Chains A and B, each alone.
Chain A
Amino acid sequence: MGGPKMERSHKILARGVELAVCRSDQFKTGLLGVTLAVPLQQQTATANALTPDVLYRGSRNYPDMECLSAATDQLYGAALGPAVRQRGESQCVSFLCSFIDDRYALDGMALLEPAARLVGEVLLDPVTEHGVFRRDYVSGEGANLADEINARVNDKRGWSIYRLTQEMCAGEAYALDKLGDADEAVGMEPETLWSRYQQLLERSRVIFYYGGSASPDRVEEAVLQSFQPLLHDRQVQLSCQVVAEPDHPVRRVTEEMDVTQGKLAMGFRTGGVTMGTELYPALLVCNALYGGTAHSKLFQNVREKLSLCYFASSMLDTIKGLMVVSSGVEFADFDRAEQAILDQLEAVRRGEFTAGEHTAAVRAVVNNLVSRRDSQGQMEDDCVTQLLSRGEWTAPEALAEAVERVTPQQVAQAAGMIRLDTVYRLTGKEGQ
């Protein structure tokens, strides 16, 4: 572990505005990201999700997609794009730009400064008409966003998990769609969106991230030059409601669709274990052992031994304290699969796993953590997630060391805190 040189620095530029830099010569590229984080709320979710798409249609200097695309072409095909992410109960609106490192520019061009300028321009200086966003851009992107929201149904596995989460967390901000509401997106007025955009700029928490070969000083200078309007104090409260245990009997939801394979999604609460809590490393190992890898109990038993499904796996939301098990099964096998999935969790609770299974799970988690430094995108994501949920940014190696020390008893203890909350089934239409 450890690996070659990688220097991290983290600086507060103003209250609620921070810059994180991970300097390394390892990559062919630099990655610059700017993230605006706000609480995920019904009234603002759609507008916040729509804003980056509208901004990405054109800035004052590059007023349409063709001009904007030409500008990224000039930066050796820099990949610039908007992203909307959900972290716990926060909605994050980002622009990410990946561009080749100066060493690979055939004409010796420096890429960081013009890339920062372009990102800053797209985010802060949009093309306008009558002092607000262009109406055709708002209606075009509103329709596209509605299409994107409606297209969730195309991916049946993703859909089953999405529906599960909505049902399980009904009444919690977590259940809101990070993309907002399709009808609201279609009907968005340029004036409304413009005022929401101003609020987003004024009242969000701001995180700048850079990964690449440039020095932190050079990055800071580029950020100061290109994002001046954002560099002022702001007060933002971001939180996430963690429900340790369900306060109701297991909730069951079954829906029908014209599909040939059933989808089973089971939602659990992790008993209040989340990122930064004492049992967090044990929960990561527990998930790997139970259903997080191809060597896990779910994969080995529900898929390989019982041949019940093509996939059965578990995943965590470590900010919200959720675990979701997802599987694709024949309609006739729903009950058997559900029972088998619960049986395996029970086995982990009782500590029925070998020392080999435990070591493998520990090493799988460690491998995943240590590998993250080889990906600029994952490092950016980790940085934003950590700064938002815990306010500090640590190297994955520190967590990896804690994971190495997790005992089988702690794994069983973490599993013992997990409670089934809601079961969602997507089944075929009657008569199929």
Chain B
Amino acid sequence: MQPMDYATLRERVYAGKLPNGLQVMVLHRPEYSRQFAFFATRYGGMDLRFRGEDGGGWVDTPAGIAHFLEHKMFDTEDGKALEILAANGAVDNAFTASHITGYYFEGTRGFEENLRTLLSFVSVPYFTQESVAKEQGIITQEIRMCEDDPENAVYYQLLESMYAHNPIKTQVVGTVESIAGLTPELLYQCHGAFYRPGNMVLCVAGNVDPDRVAAIAEDVLPKGFSSAVQVDLGQPEPPGAVRAYAQRKMPVAAPLFELGFKGEPAPEGGRLRQELVAQLACDVLFGPSAPLYRRLYEQGLINGSFDCYYSTAPGCAHIMAGGESRDPRQVLDEVLKEARRLVGEGVDGPLWDRLKRAAYGGMVRRLNSLESICIDLAQAYFDGDDYLRFPELFQSIEREDVQRLLECWCTQQRSSLSVITPVDGTVE
């Protein structure tokens, strides 16, 4: 495990790659009471079609399988794994996103035992017909809950309008129908393909010994070297959105909207930089310090629920903004107008300076959370970036970078609007 120092942030990370291909990173935080461990695979809801290194053909899997697998990994043959974590008072959980699945625990005692347990239950699959059937009952309820969630609905409705092929638009949880046909065999096959050490990363933060972390990982996990699998994301995406507008009714108090601009995925090794540039573009275009935000707010077109962000996954990148509004179409019109103005007139100098300063501070504040930092380190590793280099990257970003992005992405043709309108009588 090699130490890396990040002087500006006063951080030290120990990192190394095990012979089996697993990347291990330990953030040294001696002053924290808790330890947080995050074990993740580069596999999520969008990875539906894949081919192993073993020369087999393409395998097609149903929507929701990565998430289903995540639930099932908590079952072990002796059923003891979670009892060990529980006995130490540790809190464990997991999540599945479109392109990453992560398992974690946080605790204040029995760290090494907890870590062994985490690594073991995630790397050793155990599925039966019976346990798969039982999980279908639980996940059906989770899917129902998502179906009733307007935030989820407005988000996926937007992705479906924006993307023609990219599987980012597939619901991570799948549908009741898609998970109905899942079998233990299929789950074993996906586990074998994606849960190999070469496709995974382990990030730990807290007052722990980095060499012990590496030694435990080496001891618990499979030994042979393994590399990543190949995933098919479908045909290349056209630059424009598929549909400009989509809406549906749900029991909400006021219309909810999410608007999106379809962007271009960053080149290899340039993802973190693009993220910083795109986030600054969001701040310039519709952040609370920018003129448009105030105008929309004062006209009552947006309220405090308004939020904007950049997000990316393999083969796609986009800017989104949304919240509640009585007139979402007008919000989008104003945003497009403001983007044209910014491209024409350029970004105001003093505004630019303070937005950059604020963005840097925001990222420093985020480092308080062991959870955030481990997830960010893991994601950046999968993307080929070094997350804690962000202070240096900020130095290299100029106004022109942001203007170029706005000019290319924030156009009518690349935009789409998703709206959820209230059904009558939602509120008595």
Contacts and interface: CB of A to CB of B under 8 A. Distances in A.
B291 A66 contact: yes
A136 B142 CA distance: 43
Interface in B343-376: 351, 354-355, 357-362, 364-365, 367-370
A268 to B, nearest CB: 23
A27 B91 contact: no
Contacts of B137: 307-308
Interface in B61-110: 82-83, 86-93, 106-109
A347 interface: no
Given A69-B288, A150-B253, A75 B92 contact: no
A70 B348 CA distance: 13
A259 B362 CA distance: 38
A408 to B, nearest CB: 15
A330 B141 contact: yes
B354 A73 contact: yes
A65 B287 CA distance: 11
B300 A140 contact: yes
B145 A310 contact: yes
Contact of A73 (B139, B294, B355): B355
A75 B305 CA distance: 23
Contacts of A303: 138
A363 B89 contact: yes
B147 interface: yes
A94 to B, nearest CB: 16
Given A75-B361, A140-B298, A259-B251, A328 B87 contact: no
A162 to B, nearest CB: 13
Considering residues B92, B139, B148, which has the most beta carbons from chain A within 10 angstroms of its beta carbon? B148
Given A27-B368, A66-B289, A330-B141, A147 B31 contact: no
Interface string B229-254: 00000000000000000000011111
A221 B205 CA distance: 35
Contacts of A76: 357-358, 360-361, 364
Interface string A169-205: 0000000000000000000000000000000000000
B289 A295 contact: no
Contacts of B93: 294
Contacts of A307: 134, 137-138
A98 interface: yes
Nearest to A139: B300
Contact of B252 (A136, A153, A260): A153
Contact of B150 (A154, A330, A370): A154
B156 to A, nearest CB: 15
Contact of B90 (A28, A53, A73, A367): A367
B88 to A, nearest CB: 6
Interface in A47-84: 53, 64-66, 69-70, 72-79
A377 to B, nearest CB: 9
Interface string A367-397: 1101101111000000000000000000000
A189 B256 CA distance: 28
Contacts of B89: 360, 362-367
A106 interface: yes
A4 B361 CA distance: 25
A103 interface: yes
How many interface residues does chain B have, given as a range? 35 or more
A103 B10 CA distance: 9
Contacts of B128: none
Contacts, number: 208
B357 A74 contact: yes
A99 interface: yes
A260 B147 contact: yes
A321 B117 CA distance: 37
A260 B144 contact: yes
Interface in B27-44: 30-34
A258 interface: yes
Contacts of A295: 82-83, 86
Contact of A77 (B10, B250, B362): B362
Contact of A29 (B88, B290, B294, B368): B368
Nearest to B354: A73
B427 interface: yes
B358 A72 contact: yes
Contact of B148 (A3, A259, A374): A259
Contacts of A157: 145
Please report whether the interface of chain B is mostly helix, strand, loop or mixed according to DSSP.
mixed
Given A295-B86, A330-B141, A362-B89, A367 B357 contact: no
Contacts of A155: 149
Contacts of A27: 368
A356 B79 CA distance: 14
Given A76-B358, A330-B141, A370 B365 contact: no
A418 interface: no
Interface in B106-129: 106-109
Contacts of B324: 147, 151
B79 to A, nearest CB: 10
B408 interface: no
Contacts of A364: 86, 89, 91
Contacts of A100: 361, 364-365
B267 interface: no
**Among A303, A363, A365, residue most surrounded by chain B Cβ atoms (within 10 Å):** A363
A25 B31 contact: yes
Interface in A144-173: 144, 147-148, 150-157
Interface in A234-268: 257-261
Given A73-B354, A260-B148, A293 B86 contact: yes
B251 A328 contact: no
B251 A257 contact: yes
B92 A294 contact: yes
A345 interface: no
Contacts of B361: 75-78, 99-100, 104
A412 interface: no
Contacts of A69: 287-289, 293
Nearest to A303: B138
A287 B240 CA distance: 52
Nearest to A377: B368
Nearest to A333: B141
B396 interface: no
Given A64-B294, A359-B87, A374-B370, A77 B141 contact: no
Interface of A: 1, 3-4, 24-29, 53, 64-66, 69-70, 72-79, 98-100, 103-104, 106, 136, 140, 143-144, 147-148, 150-157, 257-261, 293-295, 303-304, 307-311, 328-330, 356, 359-360, 362-368, 370-371, 373-376
A-B pairs with the 7 shortest C-beta distances?
Answer: A363-B89, A76-B361, A77-B358, A77-B361, A307-B137, A367-B89, A150-B253
Given A136-B298, A356-B83, 8 more contacts: A1-B108, A29-B368, A76-B361, A77-B357, A100-B365, A147-B303, A148-B303, A330-B141
